[in-house]
């Protein structure tokens, strides 16, 4: 199995160094935003900001707390965007990353619609727009480096490594301090598993992360697509058969009608 990253919300201090490191490495410009009364900025992921820290203030177990969530592409094991993309611009690599190829994309935005996490974003304000999302710093990984956000994280909230080993470690952290975590590794089973994994002191739906099934979202679409060849052959055969039958019906009908007419003509 490939690599992954474990994000531990209990270790995150919300410095947003990962946000900046990501922009530096991927050369993304700043989003123009207005003051929303929160230190969280920008309000959403955009084509310019492909990772960000979300600030959630909530009361949980009778205690007021601020919990941070790092948002970025989860790099699904069975990615809907890869299945959806009609031009193979999105690819799942065996190492774990889901990457995007500028040279193929034509901007249909089906990946945005299909993604269960709502991650891929689009350049709305340029005449030559692209889809943008976290690429797991696939280019850095190829050179033996960790993703930019992981490298820059000062508290160890982000840990890069083999996904299976990360799962073992996440489980161990929960067991060691059951009071600090909810007993749930987000991304372990969601939509068939994701390369990125999250630990949190509060339930994940309170952080605005979608509650997802364990079945990959692509299952029904895959089944439907596998039906295409038999349906094509079946409909073609059925239509040819119906044509053959209806033609014979008409020809038999014509013969019956024609015979008396011919006799009539001979008599004249």
What residues line the site for another protein (CB under 8 A)?
43-47, 80, 82-89, 104-110, 112-114, 116, 118, 121-131, 208, 210, 212-213, 217-218, 220-225, 227-228, 231-232, 235-236, 239-240, 242-243, 246-247, 249-250
CA 161 remoteness from chain centre: 21
Beta strand pairing call for 196-199 and 3-8: parallel
Cβ distance to another protein smaller for residue 86 or 142: 86
Q: Where are the alpha helices (DSSP H) in 91-147?
A: 110-114, 138-142
Token output for 230: 């038999």
As measured in angstroms, the least distance from the Cβ of 117 to another protein is: 9
As measured in angstroms, the least distance from the Cβ of 192 to another protein is: 12
As measured in angstroms, the least distance from the Cβ of 254 to another protein is: 9
As measured in angstroms, the least distance from the Cβ of 119 to another protein is: 9
How many residues does the structure list for the chain?
268
Cβ distance to another protein smaller for residue 30 or 113: 113
Assess contact for 170 and 199: CB atoms under 8 A.
yes
Cβ distance to another protein smaller for residue 177 or 231: 231
As measured in angstroms, the least distance from the Cβ of 112 to another protein is: 4
Cβ distance to another protein smaller for residue 104 or 156: 104
Cβ distance to another protein smaller for residue 2 or 42: 42
Q: How far apart are CA 78 and CA 82, in angstroms?
A: 8
Phi and psi angles of residue 221, each rounded to the nearest 5 degrees, phi first: -65, -40
Assess contact for 100 and 90: CB atoms under 8 A.
yes
């Amino acid at each position: 199995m490939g690599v992954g990253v474990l994000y531990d919300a209990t270790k995150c201090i919300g410095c947003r160094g990962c946000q900046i490191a990501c922009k530096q490495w991927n050369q993304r410009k700043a989003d123009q935003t207005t003051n929303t009364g929160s230190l969280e900025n920008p309000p959403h992921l955009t084509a310019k900001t492909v990772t960000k820290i979300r600030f959630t203030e909530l009361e949980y177990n009778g205690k007021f707390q601020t919990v941070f969530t790092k948002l970025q592409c989860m790099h699904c094991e069975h990615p809907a965007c890869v299945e959806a993309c009609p031009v193979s611009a999105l690819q799942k690599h065996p190492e774990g990353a889901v990457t995007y190829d500028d040279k193929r994309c034509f901007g249909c935005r089906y990946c945005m619609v299909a993604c269960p996490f709502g991650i891929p974003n689009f350049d709305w304000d340029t005449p030559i727009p692209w889809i943008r999302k976290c690429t797991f710093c696939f280019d850095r990984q190829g050179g033996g480096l960790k993703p930019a956000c992981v490298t820059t994280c000062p508290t160890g909230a982000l840990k890069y490594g083999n996904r299976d080993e990360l799962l073992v470690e996440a489980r161990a952290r929960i067991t060691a301090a059951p009071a600090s975590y909810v007993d749930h590794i987000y991304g372990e089973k969601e939509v068939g598993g994701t390369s990125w994994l999250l630990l949190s002191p509060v339930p994940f739906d309170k952080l605005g992360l979608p509650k997802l099934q364990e079945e990959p979202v692509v299952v029904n679409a895959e089944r439907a697509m596998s039906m295409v060849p038999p349906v094509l052959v079946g409909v073609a055969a059925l239509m040819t058969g119906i044509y053959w039958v209806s033609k014979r019906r008409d020809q038999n009908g014509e013969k019956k009608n024609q015979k008396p007419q011919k006799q009539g003509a001979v008599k004249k």
